[in-house]
Amino acid sequence: MKPRRDALLMLLILTGFCLTSILLAQVARDIAKNTFPSVVLLLMEDANGQPLSMASGFSVGKGVIATNFHVVEGAARGYAKIVGQKTKLDIAGTIGINMRTDLVLLSVPGANAPAISLGDSSQLSVGDRVYVVGNPQGLEGTLSEGIISGIREIGSDRLLQITAPISPGSSGGPVL
User: Residues 45-59: pLDDT tens digits?
Assistant: 999 999 999 999 999
172 vs 22: CA distance, rounded Å: 29
Residue in 56, 59, 144, 171 annotated catalytic: 171
pLDDT tens-digit map of 6-36: 544 444 444 344 334 444 556 888 999 999 9
Residue pair 110/82 in contact (Cβ under 8 Å)? The answer is no
Three-state SS at 103? strand
102 is an active site residue: yes
Element (H, E) at 2: helix 2-35
Residue in 70, 107, 128, 149 annotated catalytic: 70
**How many percent of the chain have pLDDT more than 90?**
73
70 is an active site residue: yes
- Beta-strand pair 142-154/103-107: unpaired
Strands (E) in 9-125, as ranges, are 39-45, 51-61, 64-68, 77-82, 89-90, 93-98, 103-107
